[in-house]
Structure 1
Amino acid sequence: MIDLNIGRLIAQRYQLQELIGTGAMGQVYLANDLLLGGVPVAIKFLALSIQNNKIRVQERFEREAKTCALLGQKNIHIVRVMDYGVDEKSIPYYVMEYLQGESLSDVIRSQSLSLIRFLSFARQLCLGLQAAHEGIPVDGEICPIIHRDIKPSNVLVVPNPSFGELVKILDFGIAKLLQSDSSETNYYLGTWAYSSPEQIEGKELNNRSDIYSLGVMMFEMLTGKMPIQANTNSFGGWYKAHHFHPPRSFREINPLLEVPQELENLVMRCLAKKSSDRPQNISEILQTITSLEQLDSLAQPSTLCHKNLLSQLTSTPQNITEEECLNTDASSSELPSWPKNKPIADIVFPHPIRIHNQLTVALWVMLPKQEIEKRLQGTRYNQFLFLNAPHPMILWVTVLHSHEHTPKWLPYYLDLKSHQGIELARLLLETGCYKILLFARESPQRAFTYIQTEIASPQRQLLQQWITMSQRAVSTASPQFSRGLLKKELEKIKPQVIMKLAAVYKT
């Protein structure tokens, strides 16, 4: 069916390009702002008309639109409203910033959220809600704003170079506007599955109603399931469910799910039937979320939701033998030369090589000759760490160590959404080993020596799992963001690795 709205010019400024969303609140179109040279914007046409009782409804619409616009300026976690008006069909509309992101409902359906990612999302949601509940000045009066329809489909997750993943809340104020415009006394606007008991009753709402909806959403983000189930998908069914059905426990949903008890307690408090039993403001929730984010143990597997973020230390140090350290002058002429397109500098990069007609992964390393010689009679260690979200990435760590010198860390990141990263990971899995080609910076033409390094069986099993997981995963942030998270994780495990290396000399 042809959409007759495509090409329409709104307010002599916004030209509609395509329909990008529909729902109970209205329709959203991508448009070009011709006044600003075609900058893309999103325009939401509300599911109401202001033809009847025009002056009263239009005044209320303008007040709500102005409030939403000020709110978006106050907090980055709320979608910014830049303009508003009424078209020639008497349909009110908002002009919003156009954001290329993914609905939180789609994120939840496509993959399990790690705990660290959940906490980031929850914190950002709370910051947005807190700004709204505290209110903003409108015409000399502080106006607290209750969302009334908090749910995953009203949350957008946007890649952002500063935040990694920026969470934005949509549709502030629209539910109240649409509901107050209805002429039906029993009219209900909201989403039954996420509505608080008092909202379904039609009572006057305060911030604790949004807190209940947030609790439903946090439960779903952690488990992929709803905390409360209705016997029938009807107003009456959900009325009974929210009033009389106790929320299911996390263990009931998934016995293997590991969530800090403090977090589970918080979610259950948000789901209390009586508003007085819930956290009384968003600040209480933020305090718990922030403290959990700051725990040093957060990235350890025992505290992760689905144990799929990072590996444990599954490798053990391996001694470097003299037979493995072969000087190129006395051994294989098959060892390659330093690539002409690489700088003569202390760098590390992987590239496959053929030795005796067999393809294997090599880690090419350039160091000062003295640095190489210091660590040839010692131990080597390797470890692989994995992050599935927001962008699938493996941190491949190699360590050269001798008793008298500090460890030499040789990290490299394998992007599992790139062809090269996947192929290198698969080759490491298939061969179960790799060679460390050591080039002296003073004479870089040929490898000074190489060291054969085995990959422990548990690590190979993890590589297999990670490759499979990465193929299903959807990248929601830049690779650099995952690199940053893995780099922090490496700093956390370094003391444990050093203890393992030191233990070799005590035995």
Structure 2
Amino acid sequence: MSDSNDQRKLDNRYRLIEQIGQGSMGRVYLAEDMLLGDVKVAIKFLAQTLLTERLRERFVQEATTCAQLGQKSIHVVRVTDYGVSEDEVPFYVMEYLKGKSLGEIVSAQPLTIPRFLAICRQICLGLMAAHEGIVIKGQQFPIIHRDIKPSNILIVQDPTLGELAKILDFGIAKLMQSGADQTNCFMGTLAYASPEQMEGHELDSRSDIYSLGIMMFQMLTGRLPVRAETNSFGGWYRAHHNQTPRSFALVDPTLKVPKRLEALIMSCLEKDPDNRPKSVKAILEELAPLEERFGAGLRISRQIGHALSRVPVTKTKREGKRQGSEDQFCRLVSWPKDKPIAEIVFPQVLRMSDRQIPSIWMMLPPTAFESGGFRVPYNNCICTMSPHPMVLWLTVLYAKEQGLRWLPCYLDLKQSAGQELTGLLGQTGRYKLLLFSSDEPQKCAQILTASITLPQCKLLKEWVTFGRVQMSVGSPQQSKDLLRNELNNALKPKIQKTIETTLSSTYF
């Protein structure tokens, strides 16, 4: 829909293209970041009718909240910039995400149990980051979203992670500050509001958990667990306070929901906050065994399974003279004198006379080589551009008696060394692994060559280009922590299960 803002330049940097949405506090536009070339962003403006000092402050709070939460979790939309337009309307800049709202997806068809578990886990991870809070003037403040519903969850296809859930619209989020004024007016969405929210009480994380329970029920059935006689405040007030939530069997007799999952969702829908799960972390703990049983994270397992079946990542045979000369060169290298004789991992560029080769070096104890050689059943690269451009370059090693070893390397895309290694990975499509024994650091004990898929190579090249010009809005350590959390909380358990299944059947 076109309006007077279309094609307008903002802050001498952003060119507005078209309106793409409208949130609780203003309009959202698709825009082009002219500083970064053809990079698309989303820009949210505070509605002209809301230009009061109090709402300006709330809008700034929303931008600050999303900016900090986006650094903590990839499951919250990221804010990268903030400003005031020429006509003094506040705005903030977000990552532009192509996808469908959870509401659109569920209205077409309820989710299967595996897909539900994968998406629900991601939503919970984002909510947990919010409830843990952000730091303001050195003090930690938990954040309550207050409007959790399917239309505020965006599902996008990430080239690395597969199906990715993002929580949107913290426009009416509330900081849980001691002594803060609480509003007595209702703000939220009637069908998803907790009983205490409708009463205007001070809220804590359990209010979001109630809204989450409503949404979880709807994700599996396509319907709400409670129904109002009239679509009014009074109708929904009575429904949330007095109506017993419908059972899954009553709504859809053909739907087979595990008893443990049904009990969890029903506990989220308790009228009394004291009877609900105490935290989103407790919900995640309940979901974990269900994921193990019912498909274990569709978002990750599909992507990993495709990566493992698409191309073997370890070359077990030499590829002619070129491969032979590279291996011969690697056999002549020694463990760097500036590195400790210890079990560490680091990336490095191997510089031959006619080429440069990306590599990973690792020191292992002598016993690690007693059971035979290592193989590489899996590798991958994951990138975040915010708060600081950073690549997680992940390699998994396997030896029969040693099991799996995880080799994460972090490449800073604002540093020349990180740019060089990432670029070389994209150009060559392969890299060397040099394994050293701590009792003989003067020579390489084993050399492996790992391949990178063509789609991944394309992404690596794009990341280098984008990373050079992308503005950093945080520290490198923040991005490392973000990627490390995603690896430990989401990727690692699924990768391990997939690898172990493959190793026990057909991979070797």
TM range (shorter): 0.5 to 0.7
State the distance in 2 between where 1:36 and 1:197 align: 46
Amino acid at match of 2:6: I
Shift of the alpha carbon at 1:187?
3.9
Give 2:104's aligned residue.
Answer: 106
Give 2:196's aligned residue.
Answer: 198
Aligned to 2:170, what secondary structure does the other structure show? Answer: coil
Give 2:222's aligned residue.
Answer: 224
State the distance in 1 between where 2:108 and 2:131 align: 31
2:84 pairs with 75, 83, 86, which one? 86
User: Is the 1:50–1:90 contact (alpha carbons within 8 Å) kept by the matching residues of 2?
Assistant: no
Give 2:235's aligned residue.
Answer: 237
User: Is the 1:25–1:175 contact (alpha carbons within 8 Å) kept by the matching residues of 2?
Assistant: no
Amino acid at match of 1:275: P
User: Is the 2:23–2:169 contact (alpha carbons within 8 Å) kept by the matching residues of 1?
Assistant: no
Instruction: Report the count of equivalent residues.
Output: 301
Residues 1:95 and 2:93 are matched in the alignment: yes
Q: Map 1:479-498 to 2 at 5 A.
A: none
State the distance in 1 between where 2:96 and 2:207 align: 29
Aligned to 2:143, what secondary structure does the other structure show? Answer: coil
Q: Map 1:263-412 to 2 at 5 A.
A: 263-295=261-293, 298-299=294-295
Amino acid at match of 1:240: R
Shift of the alpha carbon at 1:491?
6.0
Q: Deviation digits for residues 9-45 of structure 1, max 9, x if unmatched?
A: 2222211111111243322110011122231000112
Moved more, 255-264 or 20-29: 20-29
Give 1:66's aligned residue.
Answer: 64
State the distance in 2 between where 1:119 and 1:226 align: 18
Amino acid at match of 1:25: M
Amino acid at match of 2:116: F
Call closer, same or farther: CA 1:257–1:57 in 2, change over 3 Å: closer
Q: Deviation digits for residues 52-101 of structure 1, max 9, x if unmatched?
A: 4x4x6545543442232011111110000111223234432221000111
Q: CA RMSD in A?
A: 2.9
User: Is the 2:144–2:173 contact (alpha carbons within 8 Å) kept by the matching residues of 1?
Assistant: no
User: Is the 1:71–1:132 contact (alpha carbons within 8 Å) kept by the matching residues of 2?
Assistant: yes
Q: Map 1:150-169 to 2 at 5 A.
A: 150-169=148-167
Q: Deviation digits for residues 243-272 of structure 1, max 9, x if unmatched?
A: 111110000001111010000000000000
2:116 pairs with 105, 115, 118, which one? 118
Q: Map 1:20-99 to 2 at 5 A.
A: 20-47=20-47, 51-52=51-52, 54=53, 58-99=56-97
Give 1:5's aligned residue.
Answer: 5
Aligned to 1:255, what secondary structure does the other structure show? Answer: coil
Amino acid at match of 1:242: H
Call closer, same or farther: CA 1:145–1:48 in 2, change over 3 Å: farther
State the distance in 1 between where 2:18 and 2:205 align: 35
User: Is the 1:28–1:43 contact (alpha carbons within 8 Å) kept by the matching residues of 2?
Assistant: yes
Give 2:485's aligned residue.
Answer: none
State the distance in 1 between where 2:201 and 2:165 align: 29
Q: Deviation digits for residues 266-322 of structure 1, max 9, x if unmatched?
A: 000000001111001001100011111012xx259xxx9xxxxxxxxxxxxxxxxxx
Shift of the alpha carbon at 1:154?
0.4
Call closer, same or farther: CA 1:291–1:144 in 2, change over 3 Å: same
Q: Deviation digits for residues 171-198 of structure 1, max 9, x if unmatched?
A: 1254549xxxxxxx86432110000011
State the distance in 1 between where 2:131 and 2:276 align: 15
Call closer, same or farther: CA 1:98–1:157 in 2, change over 3 Å: same
Amino acid at match of 2:35: L
Aligned to 2:286, what secondary structure does the other structure show? Answer: helix
User: Is the 1:129–1:282 contact (alpha carbons within 8 Å) kept by the matching residues of 2?
Assistant: yes
Amino acid at match of 1:35: L
Larger C-alpha radius of gyration, 1 or 2?
1
User: Is the 2:65–2:170 contact (alpha carbons within 8 Å) kept by the matching residues of 1?
Assistant: no
State the distance in 1 between where 2:75 and 2:2 align: 35
Amino acid at match of 2:112: S
State the distance in 2 between where 1:123 and 1:234 align: 32
Moved more, 23-32 or 33-42: 23-32
User: Is the 1:81–1:95 contact (alpha carbons within 8 Å) kept by the matching residues of 2?
Assistant: yes
Identity within the alignment, %: 57
Give 2:168's aligned residue.
Answer: 170
TM-score by length of 1: 0.55
Shift of the alpha carbon at 1:46?
2.8
State the distance in 1 between where 2:500 and 2:230 align: 50
User: Is the 1:147–1:210 contact (alpha carbons within 8 Å) kept by the matching residues of 2?
Assistant: yes
User: Is the 1:42–1:97 contact (alpha carbons within 8 Å) kept by the matching residues of 2?
Assistant: yes
Aligned to 1:294, what secondary structure does the other structure show? Answer: helix
Q: Map 1:395-474 to 2 at 5 A.
A: none
